[in-house]
Copies of this chain bind each other. A is one copy, B any other.
Amino acid sequence: MSAPPPQPHEHQIRSEIAWSDATSITVRGRDLADDILGHVSLGDFAYLLFTGEVPDAAVSRMFNAMLITLVEHGITPSVLAARLTYAGAPEALQAAVAAGLCGLGSVFVGSTEGAARMLSEALPAGHDANLPAIASNIVAAMLERREVIPGIGHPIHKPEDPRAVRLFEIAAETGFAGDYVALMGLVARQASEQSGKSLPVNATGAVAAVCCEMGLPWKFVRGFGVMARAIGLVGHLREESESPLALEVWRRTEREAAVAAAARPAVAPQ
């Protein structure tokens, strides 16, 4: 059946990211074959996609280090979800990565978003700021509301998170150790003092501060975590295909749950 005469559309569909013709592909205004392939690294291409600019050496070093910090955190809940999915559908690797990404929300990777938002809102760009006072106010307000302050403290890495230390070193070397980095450090210090606990800046807080320094919007900081973890998940699925652990985790869990459940009396049927 032939289609009906089309209606004029109210809104045009457009995308400025990429397009192509018979002899070329253009991405963010650059010729993919001639100007990008062989000239630009994957991390720099991600920066280009996101900002429209190929990064210079300092920006590239900072951005790549920030992204790499997010790739691999060992056996996380997200990794376990991906491996368990792969065990059920090894023919659909993409679905296993998707399953692993689905849990990168408010508890684990979204905390980066929380820290970036906290810094962005406390310190609008260009403001001549009294950073210690701002940090003190942030911490006092969050402690009073009994909120968890994002970006500080770590259950294992003590007295400091080596990734945060290193990211801030690179920030100093590349010109990105500005007010957001300083504020993140002051928040950690104030929180430690006001709570009496050791709460150093963690990797999450360092990534957030660096993103703010680079002008990357806090609403998309989670996106960097997502793209980075996708790389890490593929690495874990390769290992799972050769040295599986998912089904052993499942069997142990099922067995323990079954033992606990069987000890319960059954409900009498209606």
Residue numbers of A with Cβ under 8 A of B are 1-38, 40-46, 49-50, 52, 54, 60-61, 64-65, 67-69, 71-78, 80-82, 84-110, 156-158, 162-163, 165-167, 169-170, 173, 219-220, 222-228, 230-239, 241, 243, 245-250, 252-262, 264, 266-267, 269-270
Contact = CB atoms under 8 A, between A and B. Distances in A.
Contacts of A77: 84-85, 87-88, 246-247, 250
Contacts of A67: 42
Minimum-distance CB pairs A-B, first 7: A89-B105, A29-B267, A42-B43, A88-B103, A230-B230, A6-B6, A85-B103
A93 to B, nearest CB: 5
Query: Taking the full assembly, how many copies of this chain does it contain?
Result: 4
A237 B262 contact: no
* Interface SS of chain A: helix
Contacts of A84: 77-78, 80-81, 84, 103
A150 to B, nearest CB: 15
A89 to B, nearest CB: 2
